[in-house]
Structure 1
Amino acid sequence: MDSSAHLQTESTTAKPMPVVQTWNLGKIYRTGFWLNQKIQSLKSCSLSVYEGETFGLLGPNGAGKTTLLKTLLGIVRPTTGRAVLLDRPIGDRCVKQRIGYLPENAYYYDYLTGIEFLQFAAGIFQIPASVQKKRIPELLDLVGLDRKTARKKQLRQYSKGMLQRIGMAQALINDPELVFLDEPMSGLDPMGRYQVREIILSLKKQGKTIFFNSHVLSDVEQICDRIAILARGELICMGSLDEILGRADIYQVVVKGGDAEELKQWIDELIWEDSCWHGHLKGDPQEFLVAIDKMNAQLISMNLARASLEEFFIRQLRERGITSSQ
């Protein structure tokens, strides 16, 4: 084999494998007394989620996020299109052994303790008692639940944050390769959101693939490798944050004074406006500050040029005439 073929083989081998794929997935619900009214919750949705990545699905309320997630899990049947999870068709019973799921509004058996609930979930997966004995304490530590509390306190006495954490432990009881989380930060206070975010980052370090729905955009921006935005059942964009928002290390600078030719060595798209030079920094910020001082110029401002995910999200919705939750 020649060297170019060898490099091509290595490149192909290193590429992550898609663990979630959909092709033109659609869902129509029938409503009304005679079931003669149609509501299209999902329209021709095609996406891929790769092994080991954290993928965030964004959208306003009613956009179809939960419908897409439930369709992937086999809870809801698609009207059109197809999808595969871990190289198997959606709904495959063998695949369900390899995935974890935390619903947005999970139902809990109120009179079970946290440990009893996890033992119940482990029993569904036929996890041996000897494995449970080690696995359950590890999960309680991971999600930040006190072992003594989990052993003695019934779930009806848990706070919203505690229920979210025990729900997260339940989603991980079978050590899944792929984890689905539906609005995992919903209804949590800042500390609760921080703790769930840390759990997701911990799972990411373990190499697990995470697919979650959310409208808490600041959290998504911190933890996701790639995102997609869903609006009125249709995917309107998908990609990494750098692809969607632009690079995170580009600065917009405003300089007063200095020589234009010297500034062009540091600033792209240099323009003169309001008695100042404006443009994008193309060098190291610290070195630029030293150069500015030597030019006897004054730096008026230096701000990241990239829009926030929230700004981008709102702009995308407004461009499509969506001004409120559906």
Structure 2
Amino acid sequence: MTLTTETLDRSTPVYDTAAAIETDRLGKVYRTGFWLNRQVESLKDCTLKVYQGETFGLLGLNGAGKTTLLKTLLGIVKPTSGRGSLLGKPLGNRSIKQQIGYLPENPYFYDFLTGWELLEYTAGLFEIPRSVQKQRIPALLDLVGLTRSAAQKKQLRQYSKGMVQRVGLAQALINDPDLIFLDEPMSGLDPLGRKQMRDIIVSLGDRGKTVFFNSHVLTEVEQICSRVGILARGELICCGTLSELLTNTDRYYDVSGRGGNREILARWISDLDYHDDIWHGKIRGEPQEFLATLKLLEAELISLKQGRASLEEFFMEQMEIRDIRSST
């Protein structure tokens, strides 16, 4: 099964209707304090469906509950309430683990192993035949941008954070999983590494894999996700495609021109900026009255293009509506 959407436009995805991930009022409460007499509700009545072949991005500030949701789905922690399934099997079902890959936010491996030995060790856990390992390990190292010499000779304790992230992704893919969980996969990567990670996630989606990942890098999410969800204070406050989420946001028009009175133009245009004799900025609302004003000012219109809020603007708007601030 492969996606039928174009690689560069994922705003209106087409995918199988079968759910790879499904939760119903999933909740998690932790007990804290010296006597464990205080409760912290990290996840609240989370109902979510992620379809097979979909790349789904989960957004939220630090402490929003993203990692708690991911670990609950993986069976690392048990939910306090609700239920869910992965690939049609109940959460915690051991048989499904052969079809799952996982990259933690801060991966830590046996640091006396080389990268190659780590991949061999992980492959052994999945009982992958040696003949398959000999082909798959070099292919994965090429995919994540690690040289074979570094993987064979350097111990993980000598790896940079970015290199650990890369080999961590390779181990998450060693079993050729159908469902991949990535917790902050861009963490520790330089700009080139982030682009490579983005390209890998896109290629996984194009191969029909289901990818579920958390991220703070909203521009990356906007480029590669079929759908996104926003988690705030343990609650899933919105979920949908970018088109669905951003359609009802405040639209604006990018405008540029030359001539006219600067003071009057500034009344109409926000972020008004001049470069030589050409000005540009944004106008809100319908442009008809603005265009009429341009004629009176004897100003020349160069371009007028409708835009919409970015995912980052939409995210910040949702945080402001709920008066939510970062915990860091």
How far the C-alpha of 1:247 sits from its partner, in A, is 9.4
Question: Counterpart of 2:260?
Answer: none
Runs of 5+ consecutive residues of structure 2 not aligned to the other structure: 1-14, 258-284
Contact 1:25 1:81 in 2 (8 A): yes
Residue of structure 2 in register with 1:318 after alignment: 320
Partner in structure 1 of residue 201 of structure 2: 200
In structure 2, relative to structure 1, the CA distance for the partners of 1:167 and 1:140 (3 Å cut) is same
Mapped contact 1:114–1:153 kept (Cα < 8 A): yes
Paired residue secondary structure (2:309): coil
Q: Report the Cα offset of residue 315 of structure 1.
A: 0.7
Alignment partner, residue 309 of structure 1: 311
What are the Cα deviations for residues 75-95 of structure 1, in whole angstroms up to 9, with x where unaligned?
A: 010011000000000110111
Distance 1:160 1:232 in 2: 29
Post-superposition CA distance 1:156-210 (Å, at most 9, x none): 1111111111000000000000000000011322122112111111211211100
CA gap 1:213/1:148 in 2 versus in 1, 3 angstroms: same
Q: SS of 2:120's equivalent?
A: helix
Q: Does the residue aligned with 2:301 lie in a helix, a strand or coil? A: strand
SS of the counterpart of 2:138?
helix
Contact in 2 for aligned 1:41/1:67 (Cα 8 Å)? yes
Amino acid at match of 1:150: A
Q: Tell me the residue number matched to 1:140.
A: 141
- Does the 8 A contact of 2:165 with 2:187 survive in 1? no
Q: What's the CA shift string for 1:256-282, capped at 9, x where partnerless? A: 9xxxxxxxxxxx9554148537xxxxx
Task: Measure, in 1, the Cα distance between the counterparts of 2:16 and 2:179.
Answer: 18
What is the match of residue 117 of structure 1?
118
Q: Which residue identity does 1:320 align to in structure 2?
A: R
Q: Give the SS at the match of 2:23.
A: strand
Structure 1 residues 213, 275: closer, same or farther in 2, change over 3 A? same
CA RMSD of aligned residues (A): 2.4
Shift of 1:104: 0.4
- Distance across 1 between alignment mates of 2:324 and 2:224: 26
Distance in 1, Cα, partners of 2:256 & 2:75: 57
Residues 247 and 306 in structure 1, CA contact (< 8 A), matched pair in contact too = no
Task: State the TM-score, normalizing by the size of structure 2.
Answer: 0.81
The alpha carbon displacement at 1:297 in A equals: 9.0
The aligned counterpart of 1:265 is none
What TM-score does the superposition give when structure 1 sets the normalisation length?
Answer: 0.82
Match of 1:276 in 2: 293
Cα distance, 1:325 vs structure 2: 2.8
**1:231 maps to 2:235:** no
| Residue-by-residue CA offset, 1:15-64 (whole Å, 9 max, x unaligned) | 43111000000000001122110000000000110111100000000000
Q: Distance in 1 between matches of 2:194 and 2:312?
A: 17
In structure 2, what is the Cα distance between the partners aligned to 1:169 and 1:30?
35
Query: Counterpart in 2 of 1:262?
Result: none
Runs of 4+ residues over 4 Å off in structure 1: 253-256
| 8 Å contact kept, 1:255–1:297 | no
Structure 1 spans left out of the alignment, 5+ residues: 1-13, 257-267, 278-295
Structure 1 residue 89 and structure 2 residue 106: aligned?
no
Q: Counterparts of 1:25 and 1:39 in 2: how far apart (Å)?
A: 15
Q: Secondary structure at the match of 2:77?
A: coil
2:190 matched residue in structure 1? 189
Deviation at 1:254, TM superposition (A): 5.6
Structure 2: distance between partners of 1:108 and 1:82: 31
